[in-house]
């Protein structure tokens, strides 16, 4: 469970990234954060693992209170919180397996990392993670030789190798073409359901958010202006979040396979996470003020 | 067929009518000012000239005289300004061209740079050049031990220098260093190491621990080359680290890696091609430098060159220099091959 209490983020240049954010994200939830660029989506996600330090308020991940000033504590926290990036952030010159093993850093002694001599069980975990995203056969290929979608799956495997409680994904499909975007989102959704990992995803494609998430959080100017289950996030509500009418840019459109599987996902979601969607600190009604 | 041709000509005609935007004319006033600067420079050159050569300009009723070289300088400066103006070079460009000519005239005249001296000293040059052009081929093989020492010195200095340079580079770049203070301090240390040239280091170490005369020439040479290599590798590599893709670094941070792990896993692979190529580069430099370092008393091929120069055995020096060129070319080809395989 992740709890934000009155979280503010003020950047060193004085820009206010987040203001008075109160959220509670339950264990195993799949949350999509939507908003225009600059609305504070990335800042919100990055406060969770301390990549952006918050300036006031209290943030808890599980039972642990996040302390952005303690490097050791942050490292321990980050070992439990995996992160996926828009640009994959792989080391393209080394093998897929070595990229995945970066996820084992927190559990690996420094001398082993220096020599690149990983324990057999760490390697096995890396292979398992690759298996879960279906590219275990590419383990010894250079990361740069993979396609965009495959690279993002390597990044997901890197996160899985951490054996995380939480996955943060910052625009994970924004640089992928629509069919690949759907595939990667399906992978994320499947992993969240199979392993019960809390997943928070930033996205600007509304249709993806609606088809894969349980809950949508709308942000504007560093504030949470909508928070509710997918069913409540109607076009009118999102237009209120964006402060403009929806355009073709807001959807990724999809492929037939994605449509059908999204329907299946929706059904699975209804049965799997009913009841998780309970009371919200910021109800939808507020967004419509 | 004809109609299309007609259309084509009409099309081109209408196209020709549309006005083309012209390059903006540089300000004539500023160019006049630049010409004024050129005249000012001419007067300064006139006043401070060393050469007494004079240009006489007979005009019929009176003969003008002017100092030869400053007048040539002024003519070149004004011609350059004219060309720049006609080519519509901006005023900054015109100023740059003027500054280039003025500076080279000033610097050249300060050191009395002239090629006119060479023919007058030809009697001195000729016998030596003749010896150089007739190398003593049989001598090449007799200095093989010195070559072995040179190459061994280069190998040891390159390997250790690159290892230390890597650590210093990691500490010096703000991307990979523990904090800003460490980065600034190491950068300062690097600048000091780099500010002393290789010959300077060699002189220092020869003075400290003794040179060829004490049988410690190669030792002093390795230490001198080592410091020289550390300076170069740390500088080049830390700049490469500054510009790595920050994405993988952030990803390693987000996975809970510590600083050492992050630098090893996310930064080292990115800078590895650069690192190897800098290593090959300093190896080349070391081979070349060892020729000069022999003069100040460290071991290697340089001491052989020094010995033969002192004996005025130019045909032997020529043989060594030709071997040096061949060795440097071989090292160059070898490193190009490795670089191609690597990148």
Tell me which of B55 and A112 has the higher pLDDT. A112
Q: What is the pLDDT of residues B239-260, one digit of tens each?
A: 999 999 999 999 999 999 999 9
Q: Determine which of A67-81, A235-249, A257-271 has the lowest per-residue pLDDT on average.
A: A257-271
Tell me whether residues A114 and B272 touch, CB distance under 8 A: no
Tell whether A223 is covered by a domain: yes
**B171 lies in the same domain as B280:** yes
B271, closest residue in chain A (CA to CA): A93
**Domain of residue A50, residue span:** 1-62+199-289
What is the SS3 assignment for chain A? CEEEEEEEEECCCCCEEEEEEEEEECCCCEEEEECCCCCCHHHHHHHHCCCCCCCEEEEEECCEECCCCCHHHHHHHHHHEEEECCCCCCCCCCEHHHHHHHHHHHHCCHHHHHHCCCCHHHHHHHHHHHHHCCCHHHCCCEHHHCCHHHHHHHHHHHHHHCCCCEEEEECCCCCCCHHHHHHHHHHHHHHHHHHCCEEEEECCCHHHHHHHCCEEEEEECCEEEEEEEHHHCCHHHHHHHHCCCCCHHHCCCCCHHHHHHHHHHHHHHHHHCCCCCCCCCCCHHHHCC
Does some domain include residue B98?
A: yes
Kind of pairing, strands A223-229 and A64-65?
A: unpaired
Q: Are residue B157 and residue B298 in the same domain, yes or no?
A: yes
Number of neighbouring beta carbons within 10 Å of residue B219: 18
Q: Provide the domain limits for residue B98.
A: 23-114
Quick one: pLDDT at residue B14?
55
Average pLDDT over residues A253-275: 48
Q: Are strands B54-58 and B63-67 parallel, antiparallel or unpaired?
A: antiparallel
Q: How confident is the model at residue A43 (pLDDT cuts 50, 70, 90)?
A: very high
Specify whether the CB–CB gap between B228 and B221 falls below 8 A.
Answer: no
- Reduced to 3 states (helix: H, G, I; strand: E, B; else coil), residue B24 is coil
pLDDT score of B163 more than 60: yes
Chain B nearest-CA distance from A266, in A, is 31
Q: Select the more confidently predicted residue: B55 or A235.
A: A235
pLDDT tens digit sequence for A82-125: 999 999 999 999 999 999 999 999 999 999 999 999 999 999 99
Query: Residue B211: which pLDDT band, with cuts at 50, 70 and 90?
Result: low
Question: For B17-53, how does the pLDDT look when each residue is reduced to its tens digit (9 = 90+)?
Answer: 788 888 888 888 999 999 999 999 999 888 887 767 7
- Residues of A with a Cβ under 8 Å from any B Cβ are 49, 51, 75-79, 81-83, 85, 87-91, 93-94, 98, 102-103, 105-106, 108, 110, 113-114, 155, 158-159, 162, 168
| Overall average pLDDT of the B134-141 stretch | 86
Stated as kind and residue range, the H or E segment containing B307 is: helix B301-310
* A61 close to A166: Cβ distance less than 8 angstroms: yes
| Domain C-terminal end among B65, B99, B114 | B114
| CA separation for the pair A83, B253 (Å, rounded) | 10
Q: What is the pLDDT of residues A127-153, one digit of tens each?
A: 999 999 999 999 999 999 999 999 999
User: Is B270–A75 a contact, with Cβ atoms under 8 angstroms apart?
Assistant: no
In this structure, the answer to whether residues B145 and B108 fall within a common structural domain is: no
| Domain membership flag for residue A275 | yes
B48 and B156 in a single domain? The answer is: no
Query: Domain for residue B107, yes or no?
Result: yes
Look at A115-124, A262-271, B33-42, B310-319 and tell me which has the smallest mean pLDDT: A262-271
Identify whether B15 is part of a domain: no
Last residue of a domain, one of B81, B114, B147: B114
Whether residue B303 is predicted with pLDDT greater than 80 in this model: the reply is yes
- Distance (Å) from the alpha carbon of B196 to chain A's nearest alpha carbon: 33
d(CA A146, CA A68): 35
- Does B147 lie in the same domain as B108? no
Is residue B4 very low, low, confident or very high in pLDDT (cuts 50, 70, 90)?
Answer: low
Residues of chain A with C-beta less than 8 angstroms from the C-beta of B256: 75-79, 105-106, 162
Given a contact cutoff of 8 angstroms between Cβ atoms, the answer to whether B224 and B198 are in contact is yes
Same domain, B82 and B226: no
Q: To the nearest whole percent, how much of chain B has pLDDT over 90?
A: 39
The mean pLDDT of chain A is 86
Is A98 in Cβ contact with B256 (below 8 Å)?
Answer: no
In a domain, residue B294? The reply is yes
User: Into how many domains does chain B fold?
Assistant: 2
Query: How many Cβ atoms sit within 10 Å of the Cβ of residue A278?
Result: 8
In a domain, B17, yes or no: no
Distances (CA, A) of B83 to B36, B94, B95: 16, 9, 12
The helix-helix angle for B217-242 and B180-195 (nearest 10°) equals 140
Asked if residue A221 is part of any domain, the answer here is yes
> Could you report the per-residue pLDDT of B62-97, keeping only the tens digit for each?
787 878 888 888 999 999 999 998 888 888 899 999
The distance in angstroms from the start CA to the end CA of chain A is 29
Q: Is the pLDDT of residue B11 over 90?
A: no
Share of chain A above pLDDT 90, in %: 71
In a domain, B222, yes or no: yes
Question: Domains in chain A: how many in total?
Answer: 1
Residue that wins the pLDDT comparison between B88 and A280: B88
Distance from CA of B241 to the nearest CA of A (A): 14
Do the beta carbons of residue B213 and residue B303 sit within 8 Å? no
Which of B247, B260, B269 is facing A89, going by the closest CB pair? B247
- For residue A53, being part of any structural domain is answered with yes
The answer to whether residue A79 is domain-embedded is: no
Q: Is B132 exposed, middle or buried (0-12, 13-18, 19+ CB in 10 A)?
A: middle
Task: Give the chain A residue nearest B266 (alpha carbons).
Answer: A91
pLDDT of residue A10: 94
* Residue B3 clears pLDDT 60, i.e. is over it: no
Residue B39 CA to chain centroid, in angstroms?
Answer: 33
> In the A/B pair of chains, how many CB contacts fall below 8 A?
82
Same-domain pairing of B152 and B106: no
**pLDDT given at position B15:** 59
Residue A14 lies in a domain: yes
B239: distance to nearest CA of chain A, Å?
19
Domain end point (choices B55, B81, B114): B114
By Cβ distance, the residue of A51, A79, A113 closest to B250 is: A51
Same domain, B146 and B292: yes
Top residue of B241, B251, B259 to mutate, by most chain A CBs within 10 Å, is: B251
How confident is the model over B189-218, as a mean pLDDT?
84
Confirm whether A192 is domain-assigned. Answer: no
Q: Angle A103-B238-A142 (CA atoms, 0-180°, nearest 5)?
A: 40
CA distance B248 to chain A (A): 4
Q: Are residues B141 and B110 in the same domain?
A: no
Asked if B251's CB is within 8 angstroms of A113's CB, the reply is no
In a domain, B18, yes or no: no
> Does residue A242 lie in a domain region?
yes
**Contacts of residue A166 in chain B, CB cutoff 8 Å?**
none
CATH number at residue A44: 3.40.50.300
Helix (H) and strand (E) counts in chain B: 15, 2
Indicate if B310 and B208 belong to the same structural domain: yes
Q: How is the beta sheet containing A2-10 ordered, strand by strand?
A: A16-25, A2-10, A56-61, A64-65
Q: Is the pLDDT of residue A49 over 70?
A: yes
Q: Please check whether residue B87 lies inside any domain of the structure.
A: yes
Q: Do the Cβ atoms of B261 and A162 come within 8 Å? A: no
Average pLDDT of every residue of chain B = 86
Give the list of residues 6+ apart from residue B295 with CB closer than 8 angstroms, or none: B199, B302, B305, B306
Q: Which residues pair with A166 in a beta bridge?
A: A81, A198
pLDDT of A234 > 70? The answer is yes
pLDDT at A82 (0 to 100)? 95
Question: Do residue B83 and residue B47 come from a single domain?
Answer: yes
Residues B87 and B233 in one domain: no
């Amino acid at each position: 469970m992740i709890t934000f209490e009155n979280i503010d983020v003020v950047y060193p240049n004085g820009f206010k990234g987040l203001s008075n954010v109160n959220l509670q994200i339950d264990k195993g939830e799949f949350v999509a954060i939507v908003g225009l660029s600059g609305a504070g989506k990335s800042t919100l996600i990055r406060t969770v693992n301390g990549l952006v330090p918050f300036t006031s308020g209290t943030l808890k991940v599980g039972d642990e209170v996040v302390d952005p000033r303690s490097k050791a504590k942050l490292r321990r926290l980050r070992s439990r919180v995996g992160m996926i990036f828009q640009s994959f952030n792989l080391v393209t010159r080394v093998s897929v397996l070595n990229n995945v093993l970066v996820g084992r850093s927190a559990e690996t002694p420094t001398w082993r990392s220096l020599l690149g001599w990983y324990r057999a069980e760490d390697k096995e975990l890396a292979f398992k993670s690759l298996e879960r995203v279906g590219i275990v056969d590419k383990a010894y290929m250079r990361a740069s030789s993979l396609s965009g979608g495959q690279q993002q799956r390597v990044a997901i495997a890197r996160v899985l190798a951490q054996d995380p409680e939480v996955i943060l994904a910052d625009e994970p499909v924004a640089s992928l073409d629509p069919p690949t975007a759907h595939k990667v989102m399906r992978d994320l959704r499947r992993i969240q359901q199979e392993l019960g990992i809390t997943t928070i995803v930033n996205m600007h494609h509304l249709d993806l958010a609606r088809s894969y998430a349980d809950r949508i959080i709308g942000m504007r100017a560093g504030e949470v202006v909508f928070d509710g289950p997918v069913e409540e996030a109607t076009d009118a509500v999102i237009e209120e979040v964006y402060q403009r009418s929806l355009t073709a840019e807001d959807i990724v459109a999809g492929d037939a396979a994605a449509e059908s599987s999204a329907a299946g996902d929706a059904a699975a979601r209804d049965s799997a996470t009913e009841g998780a969607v309970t009371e919200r600190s910021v109800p939808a009604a507020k967004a419509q003020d | 067929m004809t109609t299309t041709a007609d259309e084509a000509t009409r099309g081109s005609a209408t196209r020709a009518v549309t006005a083309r935007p012209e390059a903006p004319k540089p300000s004539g006033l500023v160019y006049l000012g630049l010409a004024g600067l050129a005249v000012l420079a001419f007067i300064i050159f006139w006043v401070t000239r060393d050469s007494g050569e004079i240009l006489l300009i007979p005009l019929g009723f009176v003969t003008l005289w002017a100092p030869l070289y400053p007048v040539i300088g002024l003519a070149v400066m004004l011609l350059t300004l004219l060309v720049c103006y006609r080519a519509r070079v901006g005023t900054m460009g015109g100023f740059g061209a003027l500054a280039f000519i003025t500076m080279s005239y000033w610097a050249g005249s300060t050191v009395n740079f002239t090629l006119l001296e060479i023919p007058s000293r030809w009697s001195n040059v000729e016998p030596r050049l003749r010896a150089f052009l007739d190398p003593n081929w049989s001598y090449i093989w007799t200095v093989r031990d010195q070559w072995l020492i040179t190459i061994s010195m280069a190998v040891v200095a390159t390997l250790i220098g690159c290892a230390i340079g890597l650590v210093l580079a990691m500490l010096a770049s703000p991307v990979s260093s523990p904090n800003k203070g460490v980065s600034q301090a190491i950068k300062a240390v690097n600048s000091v190491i780099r500010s002393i040239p290789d010959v300077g280091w060699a002189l220092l170490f020869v003075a400290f621990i003794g040179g060829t005369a004490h049988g410690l020439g190669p030792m002093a040479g390795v230490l001198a080359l080592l410091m020289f290599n550390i300076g170069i590798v740390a500088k080049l590599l830390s700049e490469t680290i500054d510009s790595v893709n920050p994405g993988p670094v952030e990803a390693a941070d987000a996975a809970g890696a510590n600083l050492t792990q992050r630098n090893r896993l996310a930064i080292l692979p990115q800078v590895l091609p650069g690192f190897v190529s800098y290593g090959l580069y300093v190896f080349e430099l070391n081979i070349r430098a060892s020729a000069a370092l022999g003069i100040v008393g460290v071991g290697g091929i340089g001491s052989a060159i020094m010995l033969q120069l002192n004996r005025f055995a130019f045909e032997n020096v020529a043989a060594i220099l030709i071997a040096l060129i061949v060795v440097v070319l071989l090292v160059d080809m070898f490193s190009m091959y490795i670089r191609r395989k690597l990148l």
